[in-house]
Chain A
Amino acid sequence: MRLHDLAHARAGDKGNTSNISLIAYDKADFARLEAAVTAERVKAHFGALVTGEVVRYALPQLGALNFVMSGALRGGVTRSLAQDAHGKCLSGVLLAMEIDGAG
């Protein structure tokens, strides 16, 4: 099952760091997201795009996780050669992640 079916996301940038929120549509799915979408899993999902660490913050009362990915923006909005220099589209990339459908 894709994260897109369980949760929504928004990406923001600060310098060369991207943060992406992942918010369950239904708070009942939060535990499942928390178990499946670890910082390690997100780091692996983005592969070479993220050169630094991925740190995860959990806000269970909001059904939300916040992933902070350092070194994800090729120097950040002022320097990056990317078309989407803010990394705004990375939220969609995260939502493409497949997690175990049984749950």
Chain B
Amino acid sequence: MADSLRIGAGAGFSGDRIDPAVELAEKGGLDYLVFECLAERTIALAQGVRHADPERGYDPLLHARMRAVLPACVAGGVRIVTNMGAANPVAAASAIRAIARDIGLAPRVAAVTGDDVLEALTALDPELVELGVPLSALGERVMSANAYLGAGPIVEALGMGADIVVTGRAADPALFMAPAIHHFGWAIDDWTRLGRATLAGHLLECGAQITGGYFADPGHKDVPDLARIGFPIGVIDADGGLTIEKVAGSGGRIDAATVTEQLLYEVHDPAAYLQPDVAADFSGVTVTPIGRDRVRVEGADGRPKSGLLKVSVGYHDGFIGEGQISYAGPGAEARGRLALDILAERMGVAGIDCGEVRGDIIGVDSVFEAGPPRRSAGELAEVRIRFAARTGDRRAAERIGEEVDAMYLCGPAGGGGVTRSVREVVAIASAFMPEDRVEPRVALVN
């Protein structure tokens, strides 16, 4: 049998389900289990947490996930790669060591750092792509700057014998590429194989989004046993060939339709999927079912990398205040519209200092939840309006919701169920910097 590597996806986002990861660890016959848990702005918020407590700033679900999967992973020799380190990979690695010790295990854990490039980026002061202004224009509003590291430092950690590698910001596909590069010994300029490995990482990084999650559309796209959906396994061979499968008996489905949806997910030009390690080309990919819930994916390619790393910059961007209120029955939509019109006018009347505002009329069955909704000809059964505004300070944002609350006594008839919230906006902009200005570091943690 040809040498192949089995990599499972244990999480596709920070809030993902844990049970399917345990199923993979126990029954997937895996070599590696990868957890992708770091959304774009999470790291900016985590920097703040770390600043308040140097022992924190990593994924809050790290404890629960590791406690759940470590016994099976250590027993089965399944190595783990994850970006749950967020703003503090070293503390995350120490926490994993402590969790393991608690249950009588002693895996070797490595932390990858160096993605925090705030100092170097400040010196370079590049233009921010989305804003068209230099980084320095944001001044004190800047919270964090993290470069998307490639597979290199993870490969290095695996080469040092790490059983578990914890990173902060790294390109999501790189978490999956690194085990393949380490295992097969591919050269760092083997563009075709790196392109193929990028495809494997791209297909696996969102977990159940390739096994029938985020896919079901009753009557058009039915998915069996979605409640017990299984997470995917990528089986990679020495040439970067890929088969996608899952644990037999788990819920969900894998076929050309689920794989093709994920193949194009968050992809722009399929011929130029730019990564730190390679410019991958998915334009000629073919997807061929080879059995029940097994699909062969072929035809990815790669070209030389740009030498630039994308950097994610977190910055303070004001607040958003919001309130909601429901109306039902005859004239519901008209009363909802009236409420929105009143609110828009009251921003001025009440002297609330806000910029962009938005009013929504939401809803088909949230009031008549037993549905189908009772409706007279041409009328909605109920609507829910939502009014939101951007403000420069928290107090003004609070007042948005207070005005929605006031729709009870000072708005149209029969409204109920007001909710309101204020959130501080942590926005993200991106920049590029030469990779030689970034210095990834790898350390085993004891």
Interface residue ranges, A against B (CB under 8 Å): 4-5, 8-10, 12-17, 19, 21, 23, 25, 55, 57, 59, 61-64, 66, 68, 74, 76-79, 81-83
Which B residues touch A10, using CB under 8 A? 214-215, 261-262, 264-265
Q: Could you tell me the distance between the alpha carbons of A86 and B221 in the complex, rounded to whole angstroms?
A: 22
11 A-B pairs within 8 Å (CB atoms) are namely A10-B214, A12-B264, A12-B266, A12-B267, A16-B130, A21-B261, A23-B264, A59-B264, A77-B40, A81-B356, A81-B358
Which A residues touch B40, using CB under 8 A? 77-78
Q: A15-B430, A61-B286, A78-B425 are in contact. Are A21 and B41 (CB under 8 A)?
A: no
Could you tell me the distance in whole angstroms from the C-beta of B110 to the nearest C-beta in chain A?
Answer: 30
- Which interface residue of A5, A25, A57 has the most chain B CB atoms within 10 A? A57
Q: A8-B257, A17-B268, A19-B268 are in contact. Are A78 and B428 (CB under 8 A)?
A: yes
* Residue from the list B217, B270, B389, B430 in contact with A66, Cβ < 8 A: B270
Q: A78-B426, A81-B357, A83-B360 are in contact. Are A8 and B317 (CB under 8 A)?
A: no
Secondary structure type dominating chain B contacts? mixed
Q: Is B347 an interface residue (CB 8 A)?
A: no
Q: Could you tell me the distance between the alpha carbons of A4 and B218 in the complex, rounded to whole angstroms?
A: 12
* Residue from the list B41, B266, B360 in contact with A14, Cβ < 8 A: B266
Could you tell me the distance in whole angstroms from the C-beta of B158 to the nearest C-beta in chain A?
Answer: 29
Do A83 and B386 have beta carbons less than 8 Å apart? yes
Which B residues touch A15, using CB under 8 A? 129-130, 428, 430
Do A78 and B317 have beta carbons less than 8 Å apart? yes
Q: Could you tell me the distance between the alpha carbons of A8 and B218 in the complex, rounded to whole angstroms?
A: 12
Q: Could you tell me the distance between the alpha carbons of A64 and B283 in the complex, rounded to whole angstroms?
A: 11
Could you tell me the distance in whole angstroms from the C-beta of B321 to the nearest C-beta in chain A?
Answer: 10
Do A23 and B425 have beta carbons less than 8 Å apart? no
Q: Is B174 an interface residue (CB 8 A)?
A: no
Q: Is B308 an interface residue (CB 8 A)?
A: no
